[in-house]
Structure 1
Amino acid sequence: MTNKIAILYQAKLPPIKNGIQKPMKPGGYSDSGADIAYELKKNGIHIITPIENPDNNIDLDWVFPDTKEGIEHAISKGADTFWLNTVLYKKHEIEHFFDKKLQFIGQLPEKVDIYDKYFTNELLRKNQIPVPKSELITSKDLTEYKLSLNFPLVVKPIRGRGSQGVTLVKNQKELDNSLRNIFSDKEYGDIVLLEQYLNGQEITITVMPSGTYVINHNETKLETPWCLPAVKRFNHKDGIAPYNGNIAVINNSLVLNDAELKSKEILEVYSHCQKAGELLQINAPIRIDCRADENGKYYLFDLNMKPNMTGPSRPQRQNQDSLTLLSARKIGWNYFELLKNMIRQSWIV
């Protein structure tokens, strides 16, 4: 691979869209960006960094801000490939560089902009992919609304991050309190999603885009999106998997065993996740959280166009396997091999 890669991180809040705000992660994914850069550099990939001798304890030594100035800085240092490890949206600064004969690793910004939780669920539902029943509530509805769903329910931001801001409510009083809290906070805007709660096992599936991969030392061309092995989640708090910024996923997540991975239910949900990847025309991995009902049927309840990509590259971060990396290990990839296969899917405009 001859790419000269610069990793971007999120330097500012994305614009408010239809009254909905997506909050920033502290550090703007500079931690995972530094993990990626360190791992690639360690393995001989040409990584462009803001300073010549980055300190492995300082995230920002390894990554460039996703601003016009940050991108231009990386180009001036020789970058010809940008890893879009940031929150993307239509008219993101990176779009101004699409005609510069550069390569990109990540999703197209305009696609990410479209697929918030509600829009995505409705798209999947219309294409016969099972998703939980849901409805929208706005801050204007707070004093008077008619609920069409039965308790228990999950209250979640439309453009949240993982399980942040997500709560399980079991009755009207809990729902009213949750809505008052989330709307008064203003962090997520003035619209939230109410969703049917499923009480079965929760799993996470990483869907890889079509492309050419190296698996078990063999180059394989896959014509359609495909799934890495499913990871089950456990040790939920109040019915919700804790945010991975608070609890490392290796402490509450495990790849399903071989028998479970071959079950009818898992193979069926794989087909739904692959179809979702096709509908969204993904250019990079996505992560789909799924949960089973009382009969063991899985529903897709959260599709994340930017899965966390932390990894145990730097000495002080040896417990930072992401859910995607846990899956990748099951097919024989270590962190570097996962990243290298992602680089293989780089694209130009």
Structure 2
Amino acid sequence: MANADIKVAIVYQAHPAPAVNGIIKPPKPGGYADSGADIAYALKIQQINVITPVPNPYVDKDTDWVFPDTEHGIAHAIEKGATCIWLNTVLYADHPIATFLNRGIQVVGQHPVLSGMYDDKWATAELLKDNDLPVPHAEQLHYEDFIAGVRKMHFPMVAKPIRGRGSEGVALIRNKQEYQSVLTAMFQTDRYGTTIYLEKYLPGEEVTITVMPPGTYTLQGRTVKKETPWCLPAVKRFNHHNGIAPYNGTVAVIHNSTVLNDKEEADLRIQQLYTQCATAGKLVGMRAPIRIDSRADENGNYFLFDLNMKPNMTGPSRLHRHDQDSLTALAARKIGWSYPELLVNMLGQHWGL
């Protein structure tokens, strides 16, 4: 099905994802309705047939552009004519979209089973490590072990939710006092569940790389077929807060991120990182863009420390959102794609069972 024939509806996260073995993924306020509306509006101005909940959506009212990712919400979109569902939401094995995939609907997004599996930082790090990809040393800390105080500590370290969302809840820990205070707060909020991810802190430069799935793309006016996962240009992160890149809901990425220049990109370590990230994309069975965050150690060697099955996809398509570029949109601009052109190319990789 060509893009010209598609009728696409964008869905957002209406409810928190279910806990998995006591581990919770905290929902984003608004459930990505904001980026979903950015996507819908941008596709519409590219002459894509976008199905919306209301006939004449207001440009600045997010929920006029997107459907909830419930069974009822998806069915409503299909009843209104949608032939493709854009999954701008958190996925898991028994997500409602699974029912509609089995009925032949097309989607833009990851396979729900694989997305749920690799949303788990521990499982993903183990997969990458088992396939000889560089990941920082890490451990899982269960609540009962924290209370018992039975582990040996090596500082500095980074504490993260196992099923996190961006840098929310991520904290640098430099000593025993911070260890106690940070982890006590993380466990007491009950926002992340009963297990926390502890990772060796890497002091070097941080870059993030968007990996695109195999498929057919329009690049500089030509149709190009990519047989394997491939990378958009790396984006460098700076202006960290206490050693951690701030959550993009707090600081817009345009204020702390920039695409590598040609000389920086030509560095052999960055080129090797592209190969490693593409391999990681293949390992997780990607069917839509993923984003991998990497950071260098004290010797300048990069490690893959975070693989995001659902990268943030905000964009400056609406006037009141002019500063809402995402890391992926920044990277896409270097290869000649505007935000709407990035989305049209993503739409071209729609799939179904």
Q: What is the TM-score normalised by the length of structure 2? A: 0.98
Residue 96 of structure 2 aligns with which residue? 93
Q: Counterparts in 2 of 1:1-349, with a 5 A limit? A: 1-115=4-118, 116-148=120-152, 150-349=154-353
Query: Matched residues, percent identical?
Result: 57
Residue 295 of structure 1 deviates from its aligned partner by: 1.0
Residue 100 of structure 1 deviates from its aligned partner by: 2.5
- Distance in 2 between residues matched to 1:132 and 1:88, nearest whole Å: 26
- Distance in 2 between residues matched to 1:202 and 1:54, nearest whole Å: 39
Secondary structure in 1 aligned to 2:279?
A: helix
- Distance in 2 between residues matched to 1:277 and 1:25, nearest whole Å: 24
- Distance in 1 between residues matched to 2:251 and 2:352, nearest whole Å: 36
Count residues in correspondence. 349
- Distance in 1 between residues matched to 2:19 and 2:277, nearest whole Å: 29
- Distance in 2 between residues matched to 1:332 and 1:42, nearest whole Å: 18
Secondary structure in 2 aligned to 1:204?
A: strand
- Per-residue displacement from partner, 1:102-126 (whole Å, max 9, x unpaired)? 2100000000111111100011011
Instruction: Check whether the contact 1:134–1:149 (CA below 8 A) recurs between aligned residues.
Output: no
Instruction: Check whether the contact 1:131–1:299 (CA below 8 A) recurs between aligned residues.
Output: yes
- Distance in 2 between residues matched to 1:188 and 1:249, nearest whole Å: 24
Root-mean-square deviation (CA), in Å?
0.8
- Per-residue displacement from partner, 1:260-311 (whole Å, max 9, x unpaired)? 1010110111111011011111000000000001111100000000000010
- Distance in 1 between residues matched to 2:19 and 2:285, nearest whole Å: 24
- Distance in 1 between residues matched to 2:266 and 2:332, nearest whole Å: 17
Secondary structure in 1 aligned to 2:147?
A: coil
Residue 336 of structure 1 deviates from its aligned partner by: 1.1
Secondary structure in 1 aligned to 2:5?
A: coil
Residue 57 of structure 1 deviates from its aligned partner by: 1.0
- Per-residue displacement from partner, 1:305-342 (whole Å, max 9, x unpaired)? 00000100011001111000000000000011100110
Instruction: Check whether the contact 2:10–2:66 (CA below 8 A) recurs between aligned residues.
Output: yes
Residue 149 of structure 1 deviates from its aligned partner by: 5.4
1:212 is matched by which residue type in structure 2?
T
Secondary structure in 2 aligned to 1:238?
A: coil
1:48 is matched by which residue type in structure 2?
I
- Distance in 1 between residues matched to 2:349 and 2:152, nearest whole Å: 43
1:79 is matched by which residue type in structure 2?
A
1:98 is matched by which residue type in structure 2?
L
Residue 160 of structure 1 deviates from its aligned partner by: 1.0
Secondary structure in 1 aligned to 2:210?
A: strand
- The alpha-carbon distance between structure 1 residues 49 and 114, as it changes in their structure 2 partners (threshold 3 A), is same
- Distance in 2 between residues matched to 1:81 and 1:298, nearest whole Å: 38
Residue 173 of structure 1 deviates from its aligned partner by: 1.5
Instruction: Check whether the contact 1:149–1:196 (CA below 8 A) recurs between aligned residues.
Output: no
- The alpha-carbon distance between structure 1 residues 111 and 187, as it changes in their structure 2 partners (threshold 3 A), is same
2:206 is matched by which residue type in structure 1?
E
- Distance in 2 between residues matched to 1:4 and 1:120, nearest whole Å: 34
Instruction: Check whether the contact 1:20–1:190 (CA below 8 A) recurs between aligned residues.
Output: yes
- Distance in 2 between residues matched to 1:45 and 1:307, nearest whole Å: 22
Residue 146 of structure 1 deviates from its aligned partner by: 4.1
Instruction: Check whether the contact 2:145–2:151 (CA below 8 A) recurs between aligned residues.
Output: no
Residue 196 of structure 1 deviates from its aligned partner by: 0.2
- The alpha-carbon distance between structure 1 residues 267 and 147, as it changes in their structure 2 partners (threshold 3 A), is farther
Instruction: Check whether the contact 1:154–1:195 (CA below 8 A) recurs between aligned residues.
Output: yes
Secondary structure in 1 aligned to 2:243?
A: coil
Residue 148 of structure 1 deviates from its aligned partner by: 4.9
1:197 is matched by which residue type in structure 2?
Y
2:255 is matched by which residue type in structure 1?
N
1:29 is matched by which residue type in structure 2?
Y
Secondary structure in 2 aligned to 1:142?
A: helix
